[in-house]
């Protein structure tokens, strides 16, 4: 059974008016509309939430709450996410390298990943290899 939603589409200009009617100070409506158009209103509302008075369900902003304050939180979150993913990538590469190096040393085979006997379950290995080969073929076809 599909959920029925009662909300209708609101343009960025309508959303700016809504936010202003709830007490959010918006210095430049056109600029704010542009941000809402590119970020998305519902994604951005998470950054507006700390600026609401309690109870939050009333959707009334604290005195002196501004769109720029929420935008600063959004930008901070974006930069933090980029920093985190950069560090996670380093960890991922280190773990993959350790697996390759240790397994190559233990098996004496630098190409162990192509040898089904190096894996616990040969049938799972075969299925995985077929999937990888299929994706590699698709990738080559898409790059032409």
In this predicted model, what pLDDT tens digit does every residue of 51-80 receive, in sequence order? 999 999 999 999 999 999 999 999 999 999
Please, what is the angle between helix 29-39 and helix 67-107, to 10°? 30
In terms of pTM, does the model score above 0.75?
A: no
Q: Are 33 and 13 in contact (CB under 8 A)?
A: yes
**If you average pLDDT over residues 133-143, what whole number do you get?**
84
Q: How confident is the model at residue 17 (pLDDT cuts 50, 70, 90)?
A: very high
The whole-number pLDDT of residue 6 equals 83
Residue written as token pair 């809504």: 18
Which residues does 53 contact at the CB level (< 8 Å), separation at least 6?
60, 61, 62
The whole-number pLDDT of residue 57 equals 94
Taking alpha carbons only, the member of 17, 74, 7 closest to residue 40 is 74
**If you average pLDDT over residues 7-34, what whole number do you get?**
97
In eight-state DSSP terms, residue 70 is H
CA–CA distance, 67 with 92 (Å, rounded to integer): 37
Mean residue pLDDT of the chain comes to 94
Higher pLDDT, 20 or 114: 20
**Percent of the chain scored above 90 by pLDDT?**
84
């Amino acid at each position: 059974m599909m959920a029925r939603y009662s909300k209708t589409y609101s343009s960025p200009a309508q959303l700016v008016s809504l936010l202003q009617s709830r007490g959010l100070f918006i210095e430049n409506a056109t600029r704010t509309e542009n941000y809402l158009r590119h970020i998305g209103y519902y994604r951005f509302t998470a950054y507006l939430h700390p600026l609401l008075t309690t109870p939050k369900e009333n959707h009334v902003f604290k005195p002196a709450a501004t769109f720029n304050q929420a935008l600063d939180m959004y930008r901070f979150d974006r930069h933090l996410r980029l920093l985190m993913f950069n560090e996670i990538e380093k960890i991922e590469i280190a773990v993959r390298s350790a697996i390759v190096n240790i397994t190559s040393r233990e098996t004496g085979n630098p190409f162990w990943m192509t040898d089904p006997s190096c894996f616990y379950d040969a049938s799972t290995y075969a299925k995985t290899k077929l999937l990888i080969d299929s994706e590699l073929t698709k990738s080559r076809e898409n790059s032409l």
